[in-house]
Structure 1
Amino acid sequence: MTQKYNVTDIEANKRIDKLLSDMITDVSRSEIQSWITDGHVHVNGRQVKANHKCQNGDVIEWTVPESESLAVSAENIPLSVQYEDTDLIVVNKPKGMVVHPSVGHQHGTLVNALLYHCDALSYVNGEERPGVVHRIDKDTSGLLVVAKNDHTHNKLAEQLLAKDIDRRYEAIVHGVIEHETGMIDAPIGRDRNDRKKMGVRENGKSAITHFRVMNRYKDFTHVECQLETGRTHQIRVHMKYIGFPIVGDPKYGQRKTMVIGGQALHAKYLSFNHPRTDELMHFEVEPPSYFQELLAQFPPENIY
């Protein structure tokens, strides 16, 4: 299917390969360059080279070429299993691990580890994302439930859609939040100026995050966030939107932040009804050591 995009004034004079790689976040720039070379990309109806500089009002058209599926292999990677039965498995994903393989991340993912650990996984989302019902970002740690069969997957997906799965996170944010609790109701879509980022947009998808203050410090706040919806980067975008970006966030954090290899965000609590027995299941894991060590840097006398 051919896709179209109108170049904006902000994007004028940007190379076509750079512009498309910013827009299509799961494809590398080198792969997009090969699309251009092979004639899958046109500007104003003409085939161009990768170094072509786009102008305001240009119409870009591209067709994603059919590609072979990623060869997803089982890898003997340790897993922190919180619960497992014949239908599902709940794991505590470490910070720095990608959930499923993609271009540029074909090995060392949670899916690679699950394929080694489990005899079977659901294939509702295809061979490249077996078992994956919901995701968390690479540098976010914490709880995920994975389906071992399609029945379980579909039932869990129904609970997600009905907002019956309770997902709570802990985060450390810049600034002191004065309110004890709050709700952020702001739609999320692609950022207008950077296609690799999300942002609050009027025409975005509905997104609701609830938060509760756990502790206040001189320049930081320790919060719990509860997802009502599950948009890409939702907590990170929403906390930035209200003026309290997450510490260490390289994409949405403030310019001067702590360098901790990613955002201080941890998926600590997960509850759902078991798809087969309807039993209420709930799990909770403490934040990893780096998170707790970060909090320990704020001495008690600095609590706001």
Structure 2
Amino acid sequence: MGRGDLTNAEWEQLEPLLPASGARGGRWNDHRMVINGVLYRARTGLPWRDLPERFGSWMTVYKRHRRWSADGTWDRLLSAVQAAQDAAGLVDWDIGVDSTTSRAHQHAAGAPRRVPPPAPSKGGTHGDKAGRPGAGELGGPAGGGGQAGECLGRSRGGFTTKIHLSADGRCRPLSLVLTPGQHGDSPQLRAVLERIRMPRIGPGRPRTRPDSLAADKAYSSRANRRYLRRRHIRHTIPEPRDQRANRARRGSAGGQPAGFDAERYKKRNVVERTINRLKNFRAVATRYDKRAYVFLGTVTVAALVIWLRT
């Protein structure tokens, strides 16, 4: 077993969840070897063609990763691991929400103009309630393709993709959303929370509502607070100075001051620490994938490893 490969205990968790056959009823190559190849590439960020020979054909590893990114296999593996830990009472539902940018390498540009596969349910690009991509995002109404259609944009950080995420109190990703780098944080809060869907082992609906949420002042808006109250989610979001001044200027029409729990807000650092964990994977810290759904699969693989090893 090489450094970073699946341990026997981790493999025992994943093996029953993996598909048994490939296209046209054929047999897959060894799943464990291929997954280790995907993990190696996510951790090191090297080109697919430079994968060590111990992982087999680089093309097999790449195609498996691309297929599982498109059909939601990585997402189902992550959901199953999360459900097992939730059933054991190991998930802290006092969550944090934030975002980070991944600088896009020049190899991430130049994807052909065609509509890529839809995003899976737990992670995806920003869209409507049903998880369908929105305008200018992955497979938007304009026909997809181009930089915006692949969640690539220009920001102060350069050519970037932004990863919006929620994290539980043990610093593990719960949901993921991709947008172009110039998109703001506040409009994505609803999309991030609506992709939290924790299956239950046994009867019962998946859990979709956290106990509480902490986020920085970038998420402070009337629409976000109204949405959180409607879903009965306790939240701690500081109010920016300009919003406080505007509310005071309007007098009684400005409404009541936003509540703020300083002790609960201290837990916001869990999402910052989760981002640090994700960016230990070089293929997440820098985006090398042309397709947004493939990059989302890479981020999901990193999240899966974090859950397996926490």
The two structures have a TM-score, normalised by structure 1, of: 0.25
Which structure has more strand as a fraction of its residues? 1
Which structure has more helix as a fraction of its residues? 2
The two structures have a TM-score, normalised by structure 2, of: 0.24
Q: Which has the higher contact order (CA 8 A, sep 6+)?
A: 2
Q: Which has the larger radius of gyration?
A: 1
